[in-house]
Amino acid sequence: MEIILIGPIGTGKSTVAELLSKRLNLPQFSMDDVRFDYYKEIGYDEEYANRKRQEEGLWAVYPYWKPFEAYAVERILIDHSNCIIDFGAGHSVYEDENLFERVQTALSAYPNVILLLPSADPDESVSILNEREEFLREMKPNINEHFIKHPSNHKLAKFIVYTKEKTPQETCDEILKLVKISV
């Protein structure tokens, strides 16, 4: 049994994944902890990516990351089972239809893909997350606004959990009810 958490930056994916891991006595794997190891398997050039990001900003390196992110999704699902996985924010958003289809296919066998968002209102979600993550407030265009309003997350998710005014523990409890696990 796997539970996979997706969503934009700052929604609490890793925090909630840790709580689920403890409640269910299952290991937790955070994509942000392992992604670069997977990326390097298919030729990721860290020096190039860092230089591009420093010189031109996040949006300049973003397209370069996407094929590596899709590959990392496929690999983490192959490497880990019976666990809790939290994706990095970009690992569930794809502008390229072929990359999206690869990730959609990889996730299709997993019934517990949970999208975490602060609110059903996209603008309110952006506002809440901007308050949590200072660097997002200055970013133009705002990467989280893109992650929230892009259709990929909603298409990949089997469930959506709104976290506004909920503690991480309450969010964890709601997820356990949704996936019909009693602990």
> CA-to-CA distance for 149 and 80, rounded, in angstroms?
29
- Tell me the pLDDT band of 149, cut-offs 50, 70 and 90: very high
Please report which residue ranges of the chain form alpha helices under DSSP H: 13-24, 31-41, 46-56, 58-79, 97-107, 122-132, 134-138, 143-149, 152-156, 168-178
The answer as to whether 104 is a domain residue is: yes
Supply the pLDDT for residue 137.
75
The answer as to whether 61 is a domain residue is: yes
The answer as to whether 183 is a domain residue is: no
Could you tell me the two tokens for 60? 């300049």
pLDDT exceeds cutoff 80 at 150: yes
Average the pLDDT over 60-67 and give the result.
97
Q: Which domain holds residue 164?
A: 3-178
The domain total for the chain is 1
First to last CA, the chain: 14
- Label residue 107 exposed, middle or buried (CB < 10 Å: 0-12, 13-18, 19+): buried
85-113 confidence digits (pLDDT tens): 999 999 999 999 999 999 999 999 999 99
For position 139, which CATH number holds? Answer: 3.40.50.300
The answer as to whether 22 is a domain residue is: yes
pLDDT exceeds cutoff 70 at 183: no
- Average pLDDT of every residue of the chain: 95
The answer as to whether 17 is a domain residue is: yes
> CA-to-CA distance for 41 and 33, rounded, in angstroms?
15
- Contact by Cβ (8 Å): 17, 168: no
The answer as to whether 116 is a domain residue is: yes
- Contact by Cβ (8 Å): 38, 76: yes
Average the pLDDT over 31-39 and give the result.
97
121-141 confidence digits (pLDDT tens): 999 999 999 988 777 777 788
The answer as to whether 121 is a domain residue is: yes
